[in-house]
Amino acid sequence: MSYVPPGWPEQVHPPGSEGFERTAVGWLFDQSPPDFRAYDVLRRHPVLLARLAREQIAAAVSACRDGYRTARADVRALELDAEVLEALLAAYEREGRRLALAQRAAELVGQALRGESFTQPL
């Protein structure tokens, strides 16, 4: 079995194993907007899918950070209870962490699709 570094998505088979590309493509599509599935070029060229998925995830990370940063001022105008704001901030935090992990995983999958290999540290 090939070594996969920390952050490798569980749903994706290791590089070089049977089913690697199929599971990588499926996982990348799952991380992307649904409309990406309509583009045959992304199915034919998984390295391009990895690129677009990474860009989409990076944009979502940025949006989460912006949302968290501006939530207090924006939500204050809505006159919601303080616990609603705290729940919103907690949701931003959880989603931001999830997206950061997905961003790292998408980078790793993209590296593997480009033929890069991973070496287990000693």
**This prediction's pTM:** 0.89
- If one counts every other C-beta atom within 10 angstroms of the C-beta of residue 104, the result is 17
In a domain, 1, yes or no: no
In 3D, which of 60, 64, 66, 8 has the Cα closest to residue 32? 60
Give the pLDDT band (50/70/90) at residue 95: very high
Determine what percent of the chain is predicted with pLDDT higher than 90. Answer: 84
In a domain, 4, yes or no: no
In a domain, 6, yes or no: no
What residues make up the domain containing 61?
20-113
Average pLDDT over every residue of 58-87: 92
- Residue-wise pLDDT for 98-108, tens only, equals 999 999 999 99
Cα 7 from Cα 5, distance rounded (Å)? 6
In a domain, 36, yes or no: yes
In a domain, 122, yes or no: no
Q: What is residue 67's predicted lDDT score, i.e. its pLDDT? A: 96
Average pLDDT over every residue of 14-31: 96
Cα 20 from Cα 58, distance rounded (Å)? 24
In a domain, 11, yes or no: no
In a domain, 45, yes or no: yes
Give the pLDDT band (50/70/90) at residue 1: low
Does residue 117 or residue 32 have the better pLDDT?
32
In a domain, 13, yes or no: no
Q: Is the pLDDT of residue 11 over 70?
A: yes
Q: What is residue 121's predicted lDDT score, i.e. its pLDDT? A: 84
Total domain count, the chain: 1
Q: Which amino acid is at 64?
A: C
SS3 89: helix
* Averaged confidence pLDDT in the chain: 94
